[in-house]
Chains A and B, each alone.
Chain A
């Protein structure tokens, strides 16, 4: 069968190739392989040339010694805090304060954090007895932060030794930078097969994808798991709005103010990802719903002409809506096309499509390996063996979740009944169409 598919492939003309495999050759390969490859070819040498600028920024950082407020909002995450505290204590940049806000935990989080506070390992621990949601907890921390920069980090994360230092450098290199995203990688990849697959996905979409978007000035999200913000900007917008998806929301708000949003791949943070496919599905369902809620509804003004219209912001949101939402139906069209016009070759088309997407993933993996090498970090060689499974993961599993999430959010606004927020908060958010 594979041999027959190969014969079928080599007998195709150029136009036939495009006709049979247009979703790959005209969309995905162009957007995710060619474009990213071209941008990386420009970015990596340019970053090397900027080494002197990075060194100057580092020197400026250590002469100014600005205080950083590391804020950790969360619920029932006390068990992760000691490890986070430990990695913070090992940071090359020691001028930080750690503020932990417990959003109504019902486990041992308060006891763990109070003990750490007593031992001077947490500078400020605030327990909100009544759960208010992630935004409320982050805003509580912001209220008491004294640092010039705010680093928002998830409790179940830990950082490379120079992470704090490197995430601040973009602020010092460009005064227009409003927030910087750190490179979030998978900490618990050895725990399960699902986590291993996510490790590859994170390296593709965060390390490579966000670096490219940042280089083009189109980055639309600074991950909630690890990102740095200027405190004056956060105070000007009064902190985070109600989520879920508050990280993407605040990034767009900062973009709208005219500030740059940057990804810093050298600032590495490791986070724990869901280890089962059920938990992963729930997480992605929540994330995908927020795309509709914030980009299509709350920030749709970015797409309309106005005094504050900016082309880069427009492209940022339009790119997201076009490639994720609109092209989500391309597979339906492609499926009917095959059934109608090429039903005799279905098996060949599936085999060849799979082969193409494996190749594309392999190229993307090579991009990530190149990036790691250029950052003097060790590439993830073992993960290459999982590449052949990526088309099933991204092309089928994640696509099904995404499509379901879009439908549910478009038709039923399911993000407003998500248990991620307290019901009283969700109810008001829905009533006020937030």
Chain B
């Protein structure tokens, strides 16, 4: 039987659909509701993986989320690519490809896809959402795997196929999602990376602190108790099973009784410099650059799990996300940019002393749970909330999100009292929105403080959060 790299298994009769003419371009025409999983012939793993990459990079969640099974003709499977599929099945003896029994648990993934809200089933090119959905649909964590085939040493097999060369790297994307509180991280490993090319393949070596040569001798020091003579071991003559002290000609037989070895030193063969502390450098196998170890990029390699907010975002998309809405409506700044503005404002006030500005902090307690309660309808509430923000704030006000439910507003030329007044108006409007439309309330915490040269935005937010 002629095998194709792509085979579709129908859900209804579980029979494989073999179409020699099926191409990736024609995947759009497939009735995905009828497809239980995709079987990829993995006799050649690189071809199968290339096919998987094409599937995962498809824009439709029906396609890129669909379970994929590698069908192998051998038990020997080496390489992380084997872990990128949802399952690996091995052909038994002369078993035919189409007779492979697909595991039932893959149906769980199909059910998750079927439960996706209707408006979210369309084309989705949002890389972050794809990552969240892959994890959510498989109820899985993103586990890194060390590999010599990837130049930065680690891959996330399940997520790797989603990314093309042009995309932001997997690690950066996961890090970004963690910052957004959509994923929670658990340390898996720590690794050094080349600052020039990001490669993790580094050759660490000690070099002479004086001349930089790596031609070092490691020399043991020997201390003879009896006469106090201390020198490197090569100065002691060998006499049978003992060393002979050059100072007193006595035999050093027993370590700890006649002598000890107090330390070792590095002796440079080139410049004769002696030191116990070599300068550790790393030579990159990829770009050949040599970098001092202290300048290397030391990163945490994490495994990632979806948070409840991340689960919601996976289901309803990032467009229903409050910060996403605020970002569109009010041009939400990053915290770092916000801090820069606050610092400039504080410096301006300190210099001229003629005006005053305020920092307002507001926290909606339990905002993240609204997603869980209201699903896609949460978007409407968030749009209303953003509208309130827009009404109360002026064009000169700057806003940032510390997390999904806490926001900081820099109000130039506004006193602390006036900022508190604006916040109370915001609170009143939000309470009105919730009580009148949703028959429930939203607890709001707020605080206003004057912008001074001592103000540290991040500290102020931390203190407020910990109150």
> A242 within 8 Å of B by Cβ?
yes
* A128 to B264 alpha-carbon distance, docked (Å): 8
Interface string of B265-294 (1 = CB under 8 A from A): 100000011111100000000000000000
Set of chain A residues within 8 Å of B221, measured between Cβ atoms: 126, 128, 140, 143
Are B228 and A133 interface neighbours, CB within 8 A?
yes
By beta carbon, the residue of chain A nearest B227 is: A241
**Which of B4-12, B108-116, B229-237, B349-357 interfaces with chain A?**
B229-237
> A266 within 8 Å of B by Cβ?
no
Are B228 and A124 interface neighbours, CB within 8 A?
no
Which of B223, B229, B247, B277 meets A117, CB within 8 Å?
Answer: B277
* A71 to B247 alpha-carbon distance, docked (Å): 20
Are A132 and B262 interface neighbours, CB within 8 A?
yes
By beta carbon, the residue of chain A nearest B273 is: A124
The CB with the most chain A CB atoms within 10 A, among B209, B229, B258, B277, is that of B229
Set of chain A residues within 8 Å of B256, measured between Cβ atoms: 424
> B263 within 8 Å of A by Cβ?
yes
- Whether A126 touches B227, Cβ cut-off 8 Å, given contacts A136-B262, A140-B221, A140-B262, is no
CB contact list, B199-227 vs A, under 8 A:
209, 221, 223, 225-227
Are A136 and B230 interface neighbours, CB within 8 A?
yes
By beta carbon, the residue of chain A nearest B265 is: A126
> A428 within 8 Å of B by Cβ?
yes
- Whether A117 touches B230, Cβ cut-off 8 Å, given contacts A126-B263, A128-B262, is no
> B246 within 8 Å of A by Cβ?
yes
> B260 within 8 Å of A by Cβ?
yes
Set of chain A residues within 8 Å of B209, measured between Cβ atoms: 117-118
- Whether A242 touches B260, Cβ cut-off 8 Å, given contacts A127-B276, A140-B221, is no
By beta carbon, the residue of chain B nearest A240 is: B228
By beta carbon, the residue of chain B nearest A133 is: B228
Are B228 and A136 interface neighbours, CB within 8 A?
yes
* A136 to B272 alpha-carbon distance, docked (Å): 22
The CB with the most chain A CB atoms within 10 A, among B209, B235, B274, is that of B274
Are B260 and A124 interface neighbours, CB within 8 A?
no
Are A139 and B228 interface neighbours, CB within 8 A?
yes
Set of chain A residues within 8 Å of B232, measured between Cβ atoms: 143
* A246 to B231 alpha-carbon distance, docked (Å): 18
Which of B227, B247, B257, B276 meets A125, CB within 8 Å?
Answer: B276
Set of chain A residues within 8 Å of B273, measured between Cβ atoms: 124
> A425 within 8 Å of B by Cβ?
yes
Nearest Cβ on chain A to B453's Cβ, whole angstroms: 33
Interface string of A390-434 (1 = CB under 8 A from B): 000000000000000000000000000000000011001100101
Interface string of A227-268 (1 = CB under 8 A from B): 000000000001111100010000000000000000000000
* A425 to B226 alpha-carbon distance, docked (Å): 7
Are B275 and A242 interface neighbours, CB within 8 A?
no
By beta carbon, the residue of chain B nearest A424 is: B225
Are B229 and A139 interface neighbours, CB within 8 A?
yes
Set of chain A residues within 8 Å of B247, measured between Cβ atoms: 238-239
- Whether A132 touches B223, Cβ cut-off 8 Å, given contacts A114-B277, A125-B276, A126-B274, is yes
* A434 to B225 alpha-carbon distance, docked (Å): 11
By beta carbon, the residue of chain A nearest B224 is: A136
Set of chain A residues within 8 Å of B226, measured between Cβ atoms: 242, 428-429, 432, 434
Are B263 and A127 interface neighbours, CB within 8 A?
yes
Nearest Cβ on chain A to B328's Cβ, whole angstroms: 51
> A23 within 8 Å of B by Cβ?
no
Are A238 and B229 interface neighbours, CB within 8 A?
yes
Set of chain B residues within 8 Å of A241, measured between Cβ atoms: 227-228
- Whether A132 touches B277, Cβ cut-off 8 Å, given contacts A238-B227, A242-B228, is no
Interface string of A125-166 (1 = CB under 8 A from B): 111111111011101100110100000000000000000000
> A66 within 8 Å of B by Cβ?
no
Are B260 and A118 interface neighbours, CB within 8 A?
no
> A104 within 8 Å of B by Cβ?
yes
Nearest Cβ on chain A to B351's Cβ, whole angstroms: 38
Which of B231, B263, B274, B277 meets A129, CB within 8 Å?
Answer: B263
Set of chain A residues within 8 Å of B277, measured between Cβ atoms: 114, 117-118, 125
* A350 to B261 alpha-carbon distance, docked (Å): 57
Are B263 and A136 interface neighbours, CB within 8 A?
no
The CB with the most chain B CB atoms within 10 A, among A118, A139, A434, is that of A139
* A117 to B274 alpha-carbon distance, docked (Å): 12
Which of A118, A137, A143 meets B231, CB within 8 Å?
Answer: A143
- Whether A238 touches B263, Cβ cut-off 8 Å, given contacts A132-B223, A136-B223, A139-B228, is no
Set of chain A residues within 8 Å of B246, measured between Cβ atoms: 238
* A241 to B225 alpha-carbon distance, docked (Å): 10
Are B274 and A139 interface neighbours, CB within 8 A?
no
Set of chain B residues within 8 Å of A118, measured between Cβ atoms: 209, 277
Set of chain B residues within 8 Å of A137, measured between Cβ atoms: 230
Set of chain B residues within 8 Å of A239, measured between Cβ atoms: 228-230, 247
Are B274 and A124 interface neighbours, CB within 8 A?
yes
By beta carbon, the residue of chain A nearest B256 is: A424
By beta carbon, the residue of chain B nearest A128 is: B262
Set of chain B residues within 8 Å of A133, measured between Cβ atoms: 228
CB contact list, A358-410 vs B, under 8 A:
none
Are B228 and A425 interface neighbours, CB within 8 A?
yes
- Whether A130 touches B260, Cβ cut-off 8 Å, given contacts A136-B228, A242-B227, is yes
CB contact list, B240-262 vs A, under 8 A:
246-247, 256-258, 260-262
Set of chain A residues within 8 Å of B265, measured between Cβ atoms: 126, 144
Interface string of B12-49 (1 = CB under 8 A from A): 00000000000000000000000000000000000000
Set of chain B residues within 8 Å of A425, measured between Cβ atoms: 225, 228
Set of chain A residues within 8 Å of B230, measured between Cβ atoms: 132, 136-137, 139-140, 143, 239
* A96 to B246 alpha-carbon distance, docked (Å): 28
By beta carbon, the residue of chain B nearest A117 is: B277
Nearest Cβ on chain B to A425's Cβ, whole angstroms: 5
* A239 to B257 alpha-carbon distance, docked (Å): 21
Set of chain B residues within 8 Å of A130, measured between Cβ atoms: 223, 260-263
The CB with the most chain A CB atoms within 10 A, among B225, B247, B257, B274, is that of B225
* A104 to B274 alpha-carbon distance, docked (Å): 19
Set of chain B residues within 8 Å of A126, measured between Cβ atoms: 221, 263, 265, 274, 276
By beta carbon, the residue of chain A nearest B277 is: A114
By beta carbon, the residue of chain B nearest A431 is: B226
Nearest Cβ on chain A to B457's Cβ, whole angstroms: 34
Set of chain B residues within 8 Å of A140, measured between Cβ atoms: 221, 223, 230-231, 262
Are B274 and A144 interface neighbours, CB within 8 A?
yes
Set of chain A residues within 8 Å of B229, measured between Cβ atoms: 139, 238-239
Interface string of B169-211 (1 = CB under 8 A from A): 0000000000000000000000000000000000000000100
Set of chain A residues within 8 Å of B227, measured between Cβ atoms: 238, 241-242, 434
Nearest Cβ on chain A to B18's Cβ, whole angstroms: 68
Q: Which 8 A-B pairs have the closest CB atoms?
A: A135-B228, A128-B262, A238-B247, A139-B230, A132-B223, A130-B262, A242-B228, A428-B225
Instruction: List 5 contacting pairs A-B, 8 Å CB cutoff, sorted by A.
Output: A128-B262, A132-B230, A136-B262, A239-B230, A434-B226
Q: Which residues of A contact B (CB under 8 A)?
A: 104, 114, 117-118, 124-133, 135-137, 139-140, 143-144, 146, 238-242, 246, 424-425, 428-429, 432, 434
Other than the given A125-B275, A143-B235, A428-B225, 17 more pairs (CB < 8 A) read: A125-B277, A126-B221, A126-B265, A128-B223, A128-B262, A129-B263, A132-B262, A135-B228, A136-B262, A140-B223, A140-B262, A146-B272, A241-B227, A241-B228, A242-B225, A242-B226, A428-B226
Q: Which residues of B contact A (CB under 8 A)?
A: 209, 221, 223, 225-232, 235, 246-247, 256-258, 260-263, 265, 272-277
